[in-house]
Amino acid sequence: MTRDLILFGPPGAGKGTQGALLAERLGLLRLSTGDVLRDAVRRGTAMGREAQRYMDAGDLVPDDVIIGIVRDYLAGEAADTGVIFDGFPRTLPQAKRLDDLLEELNRPLQAVLVLEVESDVLIKRLSGRRSCAGCGATYNVYFDPPREEGLCDRCGAALSQRADDDPATVQRRLAVYAEQTEPLIVHYRKSDTDVHHIDGEQSVDHVQRELVELLEE
Question: What is the set of active-site residues?
Answer: 15, 90, 129, 162, 173
Q: Which does 204 bind (CB under 5 to 8 A by kind): ligand ADP, Zn ion, none?
A: ligand ADP
**Residue among 65, 117, 90 at smallest CA distance from 184:** 90
Nearest approach in angstroms of CB 44 to ligand ADP is 17
Taking the mean position of all CA atoms in its chain, how far away is CA 136?
13
Q: For Zn ion, which residue of 6, 115, 122, 137 counts as binding (CB under 5 A)?
A: 137
Q: Which amino acid is at 2?
A: T
Size of the site for Zn ion (CB under 5 A): 8
Compute the C-alpha angle 62/37/202, nearest 5°.
Answer: 100
Per rule CB under 5 A, is residue 152 in the interface with Zn ion?
yes
Q: Is the CB of residue 58 less than 8 Å from the CB of residue 170?
A: yes
HSE-CB of 82 using CA atoms within 13 angstroms: 19
Q: Which does 74 bind (CB under 5 to 8 A by kind): ligand ADP, Zn ion, none?
A: none
Q: Which does 137 bind (CB under 5 to 8 A by kind): Zn ion, ligand ADP, none?
A: Zn ion
The residues of the shown chain that bind Zn ion, judged by CB under 5 A, are 132, 134-135, 137, 152, 154-155, 157
